[in-house]
């Protein structure tokens, strides 16, 4: 009995881990009054395109950071943090505070701008 209970617990934990890696199947940003179109414009205005590639931005197409095509389906931010709206809003504003040693700089933006960028990023699905 004890062995069965342990095996079941291990199976549940493994399934939870696998689900967390890919994120929810239909992730819908819950970031209030966010504007995805404005978020798209902000990634260009704030310079995100200098380091990252975005699927709907033709130029510039940065190569220093990872491509963000399909970012809305990723389970983790920077390979370490859960890809959830509240966490992502903090990360896009001050990545070094959340992931020390990251190459991504802190980016000055308002709360509304962070919500807009977050909504845009979470809407990026794989092609």
Tens-digit pLDDT string for the chain (127 aa): 555 555 544 444 444 444 444 444 344 445 678 888 898 999 888 888 888 877 777 766 666 667 778 778 888 888 888 888 989 999 999 999 999 998 889 999 999 999 999 999 998 887 6
Of 50, 72, 57, 66, residue with least CA distance to 102: 66
For residue 67, what are its two tokens? Answer: 């491509």
Instruction: Output the CA–CA distances (angstroms, integers) from residue 125 to 1, 13, 33, 62, 95, in the order listed.
Output: 44, 26, 21, 19, 22
Give me the domains of the chain, ranges plus CATH numbers: 2-123 (1.10.760.10)
Pairing mode of beta strands 76-77, 81-82: antiparallel
Give the burial class of 54: count Cβ atoms within 10 A of its Cβ; 0-12 exposed, 13-18 middle, 19 or more buried: buried
Angle at 74 between CA 37 and CA 39, to 5 degrees: 15
């Amino acid at each position: 009995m004890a062995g069965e209970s342990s095996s079941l617990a291990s199976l549940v934990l493994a399934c939870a881990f696998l689900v967390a890696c890919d994120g929810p199947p239909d992730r819908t940003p819950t970031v209030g009054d966010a504007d995805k179109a404005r978020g798209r414009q902000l990634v260009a205005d704030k310079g995100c395109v200098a380091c990252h590639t975005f699927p709907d931005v033709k130029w510039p197409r940065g190569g220093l950071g990872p491509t963000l095509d399909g970012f809305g389906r990723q389970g983790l931010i920077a390979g370490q943090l859960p890809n959830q709206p509240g966490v992502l809003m903090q990360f896009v504003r001050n990545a070094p505070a959340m992931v020390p040693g990251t190459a991504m700089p802190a980016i000055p933006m308002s709360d509304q701008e962070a919500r807009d960028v977050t909504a845009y990023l979470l809407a990026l699905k794989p092609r």
